Structure 1
Amino acid sequence: MTHSDASAPQRGRPTVLDRAAIATATFRLWSRRGYAAVGWKEISEATGVSVRTLVRHFARKSDIAWVGVPAATRRLREALAEMPEDVPVDEAVRRGVVASMSDDPMSPAGPDWIRLVCTEPELAGTAPTAYRPWIDELADFIARRVPGITPAAATALASGYQAATFAALVAWSETASHDRAATAAEEALGWLSIRGA
């Protein structure tokens, strides 16, 4: 057998992680013990994943809070791509945003996650960077659908929709006014309109 045999273990090969499971276990720890009190060792013990592997996949502990955003961005992209051209842009955006949300209680839209993000400054501080791909996706759609809009204005509108959605989720998490977070967001976004669309 040669040193380059394909069956030999390779160093540095990427590890496949269930990022959602890691996030769920970590959110539970943060909810019970507080964000600051939970370190990599505790996360490792709760998830069964080594500290070394966790740190390789998450540059900062706060990154774990945002693992659901790529999936939400993908759902947003798919919903907007399938949107018929005759649907008014306001309604299309509202439908796309609602479609991007998950019913998982530990997802970015679940009450435990919302409470953590609202009460922990480090998590709140990382939100703009985490949400940027979602905002960019929505801004691209708005730019395609609204004649004459500038890229900056499309990004500002998309950022406004993200902020309005998050505000609706915060209110929902505090009052439980609806069974589903998506219903609360849809109701709130119904009040927004895009001029010139």
Structure 2
Amino acid sequence: MTGLDHPAEPDRPLGRPRATTHDELEAIGMDLFGRRGYENVSVQQIAEAAGVSRRTFFRYFPTKSDLPWGDFAQEVDRLRSTLALVPDQQPLMAALRRAVVEFNRVPAEAVEQHRARLGLILSEPELIARSLLKFQLWREVIAEFAGRRLGMPGSSFLPELIGEIALSAAVAAYREWIPHPSADLPTLIDTAFEAMTDLEGLEHGSAATLAQRIALPDGRSP
């Protein structure tokens, strides 16, 4: 996670560099991004704060822009494993809806860290550019699943389309969730999928019902 709930690390620890891990380095980097701003933090500064060398940093993260994503490849594998367990009798879009909601469910104590991470990824130009590659991995997993269900290659038009639609629904939910601390991300994503699968119904009354589902405690919608 972002590590924003950890005590601030010293900017330049003295003495023999301590051992570190992927998660610790990520936490230190995210803490520095939160305090100084992403553009104002270098790989060298993150390495110094962690008490490691630049070489060690690059052993864990190919670039600075990879750090906010954490171990995204592992998360993508988790999504793939979740979809592999879906019963064949469960409808395609219902299966995707449930899997994507569960993929984005985080423990209560990590919610604000997750919000800070997504807020950074979806606002910094360098990270937005990096997201094109990262989200492609996510879309491919969705397209692979859709392709199996439709009896065609995951790289063909319809599975690719389903992958794009699913990603758009998730990102739209992220953008609504980030500035609204009282909103619930799984509910937003579930609502986005429900709206997406019945677009015709939105102009026939369902829009108001869906908006009520995601209303904040004070009665406002995100």
TM-score by length of 1: 0.78
Q: C-alpha separation between the residues in 1 aligned to 2:187 and 2:21?
A: 28
> Which of 40, 43, 59 is 2:43 aligned to?
40
> Residue 141 in 1 paired to residue 134 in 2?
no
> Residue 157 in 1 paired to residue 162 in 2?
yes
Partner of 2:195: 191
> Which of 100, 103, 119 is 1:100 aligned to?
103
> Which of 117, 120, 127 is 1:123 aligned to?
127
Q: C-alpha separation between the residues in 1 aligned to 2:50 and 2:188?
A: 32
Go from structure 1 to structure 2 and tell me whether the alpha carbon gap of 1:137 and 1:17 turns closer, same or farther (over 3 Å shift).
Answer: farther
Q: What stretches of structure 1 move > 3 A for 4+ residues in a row?
A: 104-107, 147-150
Superimposed CA distance per residue, residues 131-175 of structure 1 (whole angstroms, 9 cap, x where no aligned partner): 222211110001111356872321122122112201201211112
> Residue 53 in 1 paired to residue 68 in 2?
no
Unpaired runs of at least 5, structure 2 = 1-18, 199-222
Q: C-alpha separation between the residues in 2 aligned to 1:100 and 1:19?
A: 21
Q: C-alpha separation between the residues in 2 aligned to 1:54 and 1:95?
A: 36
Go from structure 1 to structure 2 and tell me whether the alpha carbon gap of 1:32 and 1:192 turns closer, same or farther (over 3 Å shift).
Answer: same
Greater relative contact order (Cα < 8 A, sep 6+)? 1
Identity over aligned pairs, percent: 28
> Residue 175 in 1 paired to residue 196 in 2?
no
Q: Aligned to 1:185, what secondary structure does the other structure show?
A: helix
Q: C-alpha separation between the residues in 1 aligned to 2:122 and 2:161?
A: 22
Q: C-alpha separation between the residues in 1 aligned to 2:186 and 2:84?
A: 20
RMSD, aligned α-carbons: 2.4
Superimposed CA distance per residue, residues 33-87 of structure 1 (whole angstroms, 9 cap, x where no aligned partner): 1111101122113333322211243222101122242232122111111111111
Superimposed CA distance per residue, residues 94-127 of structure 1 (whole angstroms, 9 cap, x where no aligned partner): 11112222513476xx210122122210000110
Partner of 1:5: none
Q: Which amino acid aligns with 1:30?
A: F
Contact 2:139 2:163 in 1 (8 A): yes
TM-score by length of 2: 0.70
Q: Which amino acid aligns with 2:194?
A: G
Contact 1:89 1:142 in 2 (8 A): yes
Residue-pair matches, total: 176
Partner of 1:89: 92
Q: C-alpha separation between the residues in 2 aligned to 1:40 and 1:29?
A: 11
Give 1:26 shift: 1.2
Q: C-alpha separation between the residues in 2 aligned to 1:115 and 1:169?
A: 8
Q: Which amino acid aligns with 2:122?
A: C
Q: Which amino acid aligns with 2:180?
A: T
- The more displaced of 124-133 and 21-30 is 21-30
Q: Which amino acid aligns with 1:45?
A: E
Partner of 1:65: 68
Q: C-alpha separation between the residues in 2 aligned to 1:95 and 1:24?
A: 29
